[in-house]
Amino acid sequence: MPRLKLTLEYEGTRYVGWQVQPNGPSIQSVLESGLERLLGTRVSVASAGRTDAGVHASGQVACFDAPRVLPLKAYVLGLNGLLPPDVAVVDAVEVAEDFDPRRWSRGKRYRYRVSNRRTRSPLRRMTHWEVFAPLDVEAMRRAATHLVGRHDYSAFRASDCQAKHAVRELRGLSVEGTSGDAVSFVVEGTAFLKHMVRNLAGTLVEVGKGRRPEAWVAEVLASRDRKRAGPTAPPQGLVLEEVFYGEGPPARTPGGTADVEEDEG
């Protein structure tokens, strides 16, 4: 049976998240239902990581073993005709039979979007965190430099995070945009803790509002204390933009992607 890798885009507002849950529709459930209609049999789909309720994606990765051979375009054009309008397949490729979308990942890039104009935005309300106050972009850029590198990010993990340890590596954290309009935090790393990106965003916004000095971010990181960091930013501002892969699975190193058990969202 061929193993297929799908790249997905979705607007997560009406979903309970990626994973199948009893309390509402999930991205996994609608994808598996579409595949069942396309293939005539039920298949199980694995993803590169879980996204939470209300979180979006432009580059989520999922894979499954197909029970029969179909042209790749059937998994894009054909499957998209069976999926709801807020979920789409943007690419489909055949991969090695041992490909694992989570364990083979070399890293991910997330974008967190904030609308910081003084008035509400009907067009941004489902895709941005609206803070209704201009943010100091330069101050947030300087503060973000303290967070890049290999650190213990315990101060930025959710209280119910089940990861064995909080050591992760952020390759980059850039602040893009304009004070008084829209700002994005673009975060790239090897792996992420539960709610890590949203907690980083909430902390940097405290600096952007002038409530905290730039050096406070370094103090929070060193404290390893979640209570000292900023609030968890709401889910609608978060987008999983891309999952990175190399040739074969990565080496199993402490804090690397191979042993990550949690993910942002």
What pTM was estimated for this model as a whole? Answer: 0.94
Q: How confident is the model at residue 253 (pLDDT cuts 50, 70, 90)?
A: low
Residues 6+ apart with CB under 8 A from 42: 32, 36
* Res 265: pLDDT: 62
pLDDT score of 258 more than 80: no
| Amino acid making up residue 7 | T
Buried b (16+ CB within 10 A) or exposed e, 113-136: bbbbbeeeeeebeebbbbbeebbb
Cα–Cα distance for residue pair 184/162, rounded to 1 Å: 28
For strand 149-152 and strand 238-245, is the pairing parallel, antiparallel, or unpaired?
A: unpaired
Q: In CATH terms, are 3-94 and 106-244 the same topology? A: yes
Cα–Cα distance for residue pair 164/174, rounded to 1 Å: 27
Report domain 3-94's class.
alpha beta
| Domain boundaries along the sequence of the chain | 3-94, 106-244
The CB density around residue 73, as the number of other CB atoms within 10 Å, is 10
Taking Cα atoms as reference points, which of 60, 73, 1, 70 lies closest to residue 31?
60
CA-only gyration radius of the chain, Å: 19
110 is in an annotated binding site: yes
pLDDT score of 212 more than 60: yes
DSSP 159-173: TT---S--EEEEEEE
| Residue 107 Cα to chain centre, angstroms | 11
Contact 156, 199 (CB under 8 A): yes
Residues 6+ apart with CB under 8 A from 93: 4, 5, 72
Q: How confident is the model at residue 61 (pLDDT cuts 50, 70, 90)?
A: very high
What is the DSSP-derived secondary structure letter of residue 257?
S
Catalytic annotation, residues? 52
User: pLDDT tens, 133-144?
Assistant: 999 999 999 999
CATH of 106-244, one of 3.90.1150.10, 3.40.50.2300, 3.40.50.1370, 3.30.70.660: 3.30.70.660
Cα–Cα distance for residue pair 47/176, rounded to 1 Å: 28
* Res 249: pLDDT: 80
Q: How confident is the model at residue 256 (pLDDT cuts 50, 70, 90)?
A: very low
Residue that is written with structure tokens 């193993």 in the block: 3
| Paired strand residues for 151 | 168
| Paired strand residues for 61 | 7
pLDDT score of 217 more than 80: yes
User: pLDDT tens, 149-158?
Assistant: 999 999 999 9
Residue range 10-24: mean pLDDT, rounded: 96
User: pLDDT tens, 157-198?
Assistant: 999 999 999 999 999 999 999 999 999 999 999 999 999 999
